[in-house]
Structure 1
Amino acid sequence: MRFGVREFELALMHRMRDLNPGRVEEALRDMGASRAEVRAAHAHWTRLAHAPRAPKGAAALRMALGPAPHRGSRPAGSLTCDVLRWPLPSWPGLMYEALLGPGGELWNQWFVRPSGPAPSDLAPWTCVVADLAAMPGAVQLEGPAPHHWTVDFPSGGRTHRARFVYGLLQRLDEGITSDP
């Protein structure tokens, strides 16, 4: 099985299905993909992650997505990290970003908004963590699983919780009162 952009998107959707199954099903219909394809893509990506001779980190992303059309750098404390970004067809206007440490280790991977204003509404698959994290009173929390993030933020006198997978909004829980 070849592992390219389509398969990578399906592997991402496998994890997103935990929090937003309806949106994932809609995307699968739009792509003409089956649940079996999602499972196969996820299983293939997982096997690659554990195979001794398979590419790891940024090399695995390059294998699936090709050369990054955007390369840059970003300070992280006293270090400078490399930044790689790829557009993905299922998420227009956003980029999939890999942050690499000084030795080339993959430190983070998630969706980002490369430019332009944040959306005015908090619709799933349109907002990224940075859209909410900059709000006054917003608090970032660890998510309950790998590649999950949570941002609590005040609005209308209540605290709301935004749940993200790979940095992409999946679900908004309004008026929460307990910890994640």
Structure 2
Amino acid sequence: MRFRVREFELALMHRMRDLNAGRVEDALAAMGASRAEVRAAHAHWTRLAHAARAPKGAAVFRMALGPPHHAGPRAFGSLTCDVHRWALPSWPGLEFEVLTGPGGEVWSQWFVRPGGGVRLAFADLTPWACVVADVGTSFPGAVPLEGQAPHHWAVGFTHAGTAYRARFVYGLYQRLDRPDG
């Protein structure tokens, strides 16, 4: 099995299915992909992550996605990392960002909006169209929370007096929950 953009997207969707199975099923139908392809792509990506001879750091992403359309350094206090970003067909207007440390190790991988978060109305929280920074920008007092599985994140915020928890996979918005239920 070759591993390119389509397979990478399917591997991401494998984890997204944890929180938004219906949206993933719709995307698979639009792509003409099967659940078996999703499982195979996820298994292949997992093997690449742990194989001694597989490319490491940003190189494994370049192998799958080609050269990043953006690459460069970014300072975080006294540390500098390298930023690599790719546009993926299933998520137009967003980019998949990989941050690597000085030794080339992957520090973070998630979806971002080029130029940073945008201000959204509550009704604009649409699965697969928003990223973590959008929620942080849109709802003052939003608090990042730990997710329940690898590559899961959550952001807690209040709107119209009601507490909510926005759930994300790879930084991409999946669904909105009430913390009490």
- For normalisation by structure 2, the TM-score amounts to 0.93
1:59-102 deviation line (CA, Å, top 9, x unaligned): 11111001111112222121121110000000000000001112
**Structure 2: segments with no counterpart, 5+ residues:** none
Q: Which residue of 2 aligns with 1:46?
A: 46
2:166 and 2:75 map into 1 onto residues whose CA distance is: 26
Change (3 A) 1:154 1:91: same
Q: Which residue of 1 aligns with 2:37?
A: 37
2:81 and 2:120 map into 1 onto residues whose CA distance is: 28
What root-mean-square deviation, in Å, do the aligned CA atoms of Structure 1 and Structure 2 show? Answer: 1.4
- For normalisation by structure 1, the TM-score amounts to 0.94
Q: What is the one-letter code of the residue matched to 1:169?
A: Y
Q: Which residue of 2 aligns with 1:129?
A: 132
Task: Choose the corresponding residue for 1:155, options 156, 159, 175.
Answer: 159
1:60 and 1:143 map into 2 onto residues whose CA distance is: 25
Q: Structure 1 residue runs of 4+, over 6 Å off?
A: none
1:107 and 1:95 map into 2 onto residues whose CA distance is: 17
| Aligned residue-pair number | 177
Q: CA deviation at 1:118?
A: 4.4
Q: Which residue of 2 aligns with 1:177?
A: 180
2:101 and 2:87 map into 1 onto residues whose CA distance is: 21
Residues 118 and 127 of structure 1 are in contact (CA less than 8 Å); yes or no, is this contact kept in structure 2? no
Q: After alignment, is 116-125 or 30-39 more displaced? A: 116-125
Identity %: 73
Q: Does 2:169 match 1:143?
A: no
Q: What is the one-letter code of the residue matched to 1:156?
A: A
2:96 and 2:157 map into 1 onto residues whose CA distance is: 24
Q: Which residue of 2 aligns with 1:112?
A: 112
Q: CA deviation at 1:25?
A: 0.3
1:18 aligns to what SS in structure 2? coil
Q: CA deviation at 1:52?
A: 1.1
**Structure 1: segments with no counterpart, 5+ residues:** none
